[in-house]
C-alpha cells in the first residue's frame, strides 16, 4: 500500500469518529432523549432544571479530569491516545445503553442522569484525544478543509441516525406511531415508550459499529518512546501548572482560549436545551423535535463544510466572528417565539407561525454552530507552535471544559428564578457576546513564538 493511500485511509478513519460519535449529541443531548425526558418528568421547567444540573455536573467532572489525562497521554507517548479512546469508548457505550431503563410514569431520575453522565464523559474524552491527532493528518494549509469535512461528515452521520430513529423507533406519545406512521420495529411496545427508549442502545450500537474503521485505519505516527503510566500520572499536575504559567506571555493564544471557552459553552447550552426548550415552549412531541433536528443537522453539515473552505481562503477568525454574531441573533429571536406570540406579534392558538419560525431558527443555529466548531479547531492549529500542538489541544480541552458547567447551571438557575423557559436561555447571550469581544485580541494566524 502506498504512503499516499495510507494517508487517505487514515484521514477517512479519523472522519469515522465524528460519524460514530455524533448521534450522542443529535439523538440523546438534543432531539430525541431530552424531549422524552421532559415528557416523563411532566413540567417543562422541572425537566429543564434537572437536565441542566445533570449535564452541569458531568461537565464539572470533565473540566477537572481532562487536562490531567491529556498531560498523562502526552507524557506516555502518542500510542496512549488510542488506548484512552478505547477506554472512553467503553464508557460511551455503557452510558448510552443504560438510558433504555428510563421508564415512562416512574423514571429513576438519578439513574438516568448517572448513565447519561457516564456516556457524556466517554464521548467528550474520546473527542479530546481524537482531536489531538488532527495536526498529524495533513499539512497546516489543509487543516481547515479537513476539520470542516470532519464536522460535516459527523453531522451527516447524526442526520442518518436521526432519520432512522424517527422512521423506525421513536413513537409519537399520542398516536404510538413513528414519523412514517408505523409501529416501532422489532415489536417494541409503543405504550411503554420502548421505541423512544431504544434510542440509547441504538446510539451505543451505532458507535460500536462505525468506530471499527477508526481503530482499523488510524495509527499514531511517528512513533515516540514515552514514560510509564505511573510516572506520567505523577507529572500530570506539574506539567499542567507549567503550561498555565506560560499563558500570560502568549497573548493571542490566551485570548482565543478565553473566547472559545465562553462561546463554546454557550453553543453547547443551545444544543443541550434546544429540544427540551421546543418541547416545553411550543408543546412539540418527540417526532416534531426530531424533524426540527433534521433541518438543523442538514444545515450544520453544509455550513461546516463551507466553513472549512472559507478557512482556507479567509482564515478561521472571520468565520468564527460571523458565526457568533449569527448565533446571538437567533438566540435572541428564540426568546420571542412562543405558542401565542411570534416576535411580539400575537397569533392564534392553532397558528403554525411559531412552528415555522422555530424551524427557521433551528436551521440557522445548526449552520452557524457547524461552521463555528469546525473553524475553532482550525484556529487552534494556527495559534500554537507545531512542536507543542498536543499541549495546545490539552489547553483547548481544559478551557473548553473548565466552564462547561456554567451554561447548564446558568440556564437551570435562570429558569428556576424566572419560571420561564424563554428567559432561562438569556444567559447564553452574555456568553456569546463576551466571547466575541475577546476575539478582538486574537491574531488570525497566531504569534511567531509561543
DSSP state of 380: H
CB 331 within 8 A of CB 432: yes
Cell numbers at 381, concatenated = 492549529
CB 150 within 8 A of CB 133: no
Q: How many whole angstroms separate alpha carbon 289 and alpha carbon 278?
A: 7
- Phi-psi sector, 337: left (phi>0), alpha (psi -120 to 50), beta: beta
- In 324-403, which ranges are E strands? 341-342, 345-346
User: Among 19-33, 224-238, 371-385, whose mean pLDDT is lowest?
Assistant: 224-238
> Residues 172-225: pLDDT tens digits?
888 999 989 999 999 999 999 999 999 999 999 999 999 999 999 997 665 555
Number of separate domains in the chain: 1
Cell numbers at 30, concatenated = 438534543
DSSP state of 337: B
Q: How many whole angstroms separate alpha carbon 149 and alpha carbon 93?
A: 25
* Residue 334 domain-assigned (yes or no): yes
Residue 87's pLDDT is what? 96
The pTM score is: 0.82
CATH assignment of the domain containing 117: 1.20.1250.20
Residue 144's pLDDT is what? 85
The percent of residues above 70 in pLDDT, for the chain, comes to 92
pLDDT above 90 (res 136)? no
**Averaged over 279-303, what is the pLDDT?**
82
341 phi, psi to nearest 5 deg: -140, 150
* Residue 135 domain-assigned (yes or no): yes
Cell numbers at 276, concatenated = 427540551
Q: Which DSSP string corresponds to 84-96?
A: HHHHHHHHHHHHH
The packing angle between helices 229-246 and 44-76, to 10°, is 110
Confidence of residue 74 (pLDDT cuts 50, 70, 90): confident
**Averaged over 405-417, what is the pLDDT?**
82
For the chain, what is the total number of helices (H) and then of strands (E)? 18, 2
* Residue 447 domain-assigned (yes or no): no
Residue 46's domain comprises 3-220+228-441
* Residue 70 domain-assigned (yes or no): yes
Confidence of residue 449 (pLDDT cuts 50, 70, 90): very low
381 closest CA partner among 142, 66, 143, 137: 143
> Residues 221-279: pLDDT tens digits?
655 556 677 787 788 788 778 878 888 888 899 999 999 999 998 998 887 777 777 77
CB 402 within 8 A of CB 64: no
3, burial (CB in 10 Å: exposed 0-12, middle 13-18, buried 19+)? exposed
CB 18 within 8 A of CB 154: yes
> Residues 137-181: pLDDT tens digits?
877 778 888 999 999 999 999 999 989 999 999 998 889 999 899
Confidence of residue 450 (pLDDT cuts 50, 70, 90): very low
Q: How many whole angstroms separate alpha carbon 354 and alpha carbon 160?
A: 27
First-to-final CA distance of the chain = 38
Residue 208's pLDDT is what? 98
Q: How many whole angstroms separate alpha carbon 275 and alpha carbon 284?
A: 9
Q: Which DSSP string corresponds to 251-295?
A: HHHHHHHHHHHHHHHHHHHHHHHHHHHHHHHH---HHHHHHHHHH
* Residue 409 domain-assigned (yes or no): yes
* Residue 201 domain-assigned (yes or no): yes
Mean residue pLDDT of the chain comes to 85
The better pLDDT of the pair 66, 168 is held by 168
CB 137 within 8 A of CB 150: no
Q: How many whole angstroms separate alpha carbon 193 and alpha carbon 140?
A: 48
* Residue 448 domain-assigned (yes or no): no
Q: How many whole angstroms separate alpha carbon 227 and alpha carbon 12?
A: 30
* Residue 450 domain-assigned (yes or no): no
Number of residues that this document lists for the chain = 450
Q: How many whole angstroms separate alpha carbon 311 and alpha carbon 194?
A: 44
Tell me if residue 425 falls in helix, strand or coil.
coil
Cell numbers at 130, concatenated = 481524537
Amino acid at each position: 500500500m502506498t504512503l499516499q493511500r495510507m494517508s487517505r485511509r487514515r484521514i477517512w478513519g479519523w472522519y469515522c469518529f465524528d460519524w460514530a460519535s455524533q448521534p450522542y449529541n443529535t439523538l440523546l443531548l438534543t432531539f430525541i432523549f431530552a424531549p422524552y425526558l421532559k415528557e416523563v418528568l411532566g413540567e417543562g421547567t422541572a425537566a429543564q432544571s434537572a437536565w441542566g444540573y445533570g449535564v452541569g455536573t458531568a461537565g464539572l467532572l470533565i473540566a477537572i479530569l481532562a487536562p490531567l489525562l491529556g498531560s498523562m497521554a502526552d507524557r506516555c507517548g502518542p500510542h496512549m491516545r488510542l488506548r484512552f479512546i478505547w477506554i472512553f469508548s467503553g464508557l460511551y457505550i455503557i452510558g448510552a445503553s443504560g438510558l433504555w431503563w428510563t421508564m415512562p410514569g416512574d423514571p429513576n431520575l438519578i439513574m438516568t442522569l448517572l448513565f447519561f453522565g457516564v456516556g457524556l464523559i466517554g464521548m467528550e474524552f474520546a473527542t479530546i484525544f481524537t482531536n489531538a491527532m488532527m495536526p498529524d493528518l495533513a499539512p497546516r494549509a489543509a487543516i481547515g478543509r479537513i476539520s470542516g469535512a470532519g464536522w460535516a461528515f459527523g453531522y451527516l452521520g447524526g442526520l442518518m441516525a436521526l432519520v432512522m430513529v424517527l422512521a423506525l423507533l421513536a413513537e409519537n406519545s399520542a398516536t404510538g406511531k413513528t414519523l412514517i406512521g408505523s409501529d416501532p420495529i422489532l415489536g417494541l411496545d409503543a405504550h411503554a415508550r420502548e421505541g423512544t427508549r431504544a434510542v440509547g442502545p441504538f446510539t451505543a450500537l451505532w458507535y460500536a459499529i462505525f468506530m471499527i474503521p477508526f481503530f482499523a485505519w488510524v495509527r499514531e505516527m511517528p512513533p515516540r518512546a514515552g514514560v510509564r503510566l505511573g510516572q506520567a500520572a505523577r507529572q500530570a499536575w506539574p506539567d499542567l501548572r507549567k503550561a498555565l504559567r506560560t499563558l500570560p506571555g502568549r497573548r493571542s493564544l490566551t485570548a482565543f482560549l478565553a473566547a472559545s471557552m465562553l462561546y463554546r459553552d454557550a453553543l453547547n447550552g443551545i444544543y443541550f436545551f434546544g429540544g427540551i426548550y421546543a418541547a416545553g415552549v411550543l408543546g412539540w412531541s418527540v417526532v416534531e423535535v426530531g424533524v426540527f433536528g433534521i433541518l438543523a443537522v442538514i444545515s450544520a453539515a453544509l455550513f461546516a463544510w463551507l466553513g472549512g473552505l472559507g478557512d482556507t481562503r479567509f482564515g478561521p477568525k472571520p468565520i468564527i466572528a460571523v458565526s457568533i454574531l449569527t448565533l446571538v441573533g437567533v438566540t435572541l429571536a428564540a426568546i420571542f417565539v412562543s405558542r401565542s406570540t411570534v416576535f411580539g406579534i400575537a397569533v392564534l392558538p392553532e397558528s403554525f407561525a411559531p412552528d415555522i419560525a422555530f424551524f427557521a431558527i433551528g436551521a440557522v443555529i445548526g449552520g452557524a454552530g457547524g461552521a463555528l466548531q469546525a473553524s475553532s479547531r482550525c484556529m487552534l492549529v494556527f495559534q500554537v507552535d507545531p512542536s507543542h500542538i498536543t499541549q495546545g489541544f490539552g489547553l483547548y480541552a481544559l478551557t473548553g471544559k473548565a466552564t462547561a458547567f456554567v451554561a447548564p447551571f446558568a440556564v437551570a438557575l435562570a429558569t428556576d428564578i424566572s419560571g420561564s423557559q424563554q428567559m432561562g436561555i438569556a444567559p447564553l447571550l452574555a456568553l456569546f457576546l463576551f466571547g466575541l469581544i475577546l476575539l478582538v485580541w486574537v491574531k488570525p494566524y497566531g504569534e511567531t513564538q509561543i
